[in-house]
Amino acid sequence: MRCTVPAKVLVTGGAGFTGSRTRCELLQRGHEVVVADDSSDSLPQALECIAEFAGNSPHSGG
């Protein structure tokens, strides 16, 4: 099924390897992506890099 309407998507674990690839794909397709990640197994630079790609800044929920 192909989504033709941009959606707001929550990606859990979005700073890890699989999550970062998923984020890139969703952003390239025009979706708004929200990432939830405890950063226990990822680098902070991963979120900074994708935020730059998306044209915004990462926000901390803490």
Q: What is the pLDDT of residues 4-57, one digit of tens each?
A: 788 999 999 888 888 888 988 998 899 998 888 887 877 667 767 767 776 766
Closest CA to 4 of 25, 27, 39, 31: 31
Q: What is residue 35's predicted lDDT score, i.e. its pLDDT?
A: 86
26 residue type, one letter? L
Give the E-state strand segments of 1-62 in sequence order.
8-12, 32-36
Q: What is residue 27's predicted lDDT score, i.e. its pLDDT?
A: 87
Q: What is residue 9's predicted lDDT score, i.e. its pLDDT?
A: 94
DSSP three-state, residue 47: helix
Q: What is residue 10's predicted lDDT score, i.e. its pLDDT?
A: 95
